[in-house]
Amino acid sequence: MIKKLSILALTITLFTSCVSKKIYTDLEDKYANLKKENRSLTDEMAELANEKTKIFNDLNALESAYESAVSERDKLQSDYAAAKSNLETLKASYKALEENSSASIAKNSQKNRELLAQLEAKEQALAAENKRLNTLKQELESRSLRVAELENVIASKDAAMHKLKDAISKALTNFEGKGLTVEQRNGKVYISMENKLLFESGSWYVGAQGAQAVKQLGSVLAENPEISVLIEGHTDNVPYKGNAQLSGNWDLSAKRATAIVNILRENDAINPENLTAAGRGEFAPIASNETSEGKAKNRRIEVILTPKLDEISKLLNEI
């Protein structure tokens, strides 16, 4: 009888501690905004990659135009030298024919004037082409410099994220083999923690071992204030029935993500503006839900660390 009363009291406590409909709705709205922001960040990274490709294509076009301009200039110089040689030949002929009839002299004079006019036109064309060539060269150098700056920034951020991954791996080394993995891909760092490290079945309360892992992760994040931190809760596809006031797996995943955020916020050195909690329910599995092993992998918390891209966006706008 005492055992049944204890269970009843626990059930009443769980029901009274559940979130209100308004908080649930706010969580849904926040998740929608986070999902939109996540898509926007993904699109922005793809757009940056496309912009980089376009920049390299533009550089190749400029280099081609530069080589074409050099070829055209060389041709003009050759034509200029040939015209000048012809002029000297005609001058010699003119001198030799000075004693000839006035008609012949007039004819040679006309040819000389025509050649002089052609020579002047070619000199002007050569000067204009040299000017265009210099302009193209300056533009090419300017763009190459900005592309180099962009590549240096991207490389620097990649190196920083690699260093951050190593720091996190070192901080969480005690939890290796306990459902925790750390990897770097697409310019981000992903920390995946299976629920067996963090939560009891159907609960969003973080156990002592899981809380210690999150706090050690927080100690690294506190030293990297320029990193955006997205905490995603994930479940398997088994319908949640543990608490009647939760709507299901999506609600449970959001509660678990928020629980991780709350532990990180205990570290005063972490800026709350960098933290985002999101629940994704069973809709982003990483393994098959047909096996118990796959379901265990799908029940997880993912912490996604993203570098801020303000500096890269500024350089792209200048190119």
Q: What is the CATH number of domain 19-53+162-318?
A: 3.30.1330.60
pLDDT per position as a tens digit, 183-203: 998 889 999 999 999 998 888
At residue 158, does pLDDT exceed 80? no
Q: Please give the Cα distance from 302 to 194 (Å, whole number).
A: 9
Q: Please give the Cα distance from 303 to 257 (Å, whole number).
A: 9
At residue 5, does pLDDT exceed 50? no
What does DSSP assign to residue 241? -
pLDDT per position as a tens digit, 69-105: 888 888 878 888 887 888 888 787 777 766 676 777 6
- Note the pLDDT of residue 11: 53
Residue bearing the bigger pLDDT, 15 or 167: 167
- Note the pLDDT of residue 300: 95
Query: Closest Cα partner for 191 from 199, 202, 180?
Result: 180
Mean pLDDT value across residues 225-234: 94
Residue 133 backbone dihedrals phi, psi, to 5 degrees: -65, -45
Query: Closest Cα partner for 140 from 51, 61, 54?
Result: 61
Domain edges within the chain: 19-53+162-318, 55-158
Select from 1.20.1070, 3.40.190, 1.10.287, 1.20.120 the CATH code of 55-158.
1.10.287
Q: Is 206 in a helix, a strand, or coil?
A: strand
pLDDT per position as a tens digit, 293-305: 999 999 999 999 9
The pTM score is: 0.54
In the chain, the N- to C-terminal Cα span, in Å, equals 76
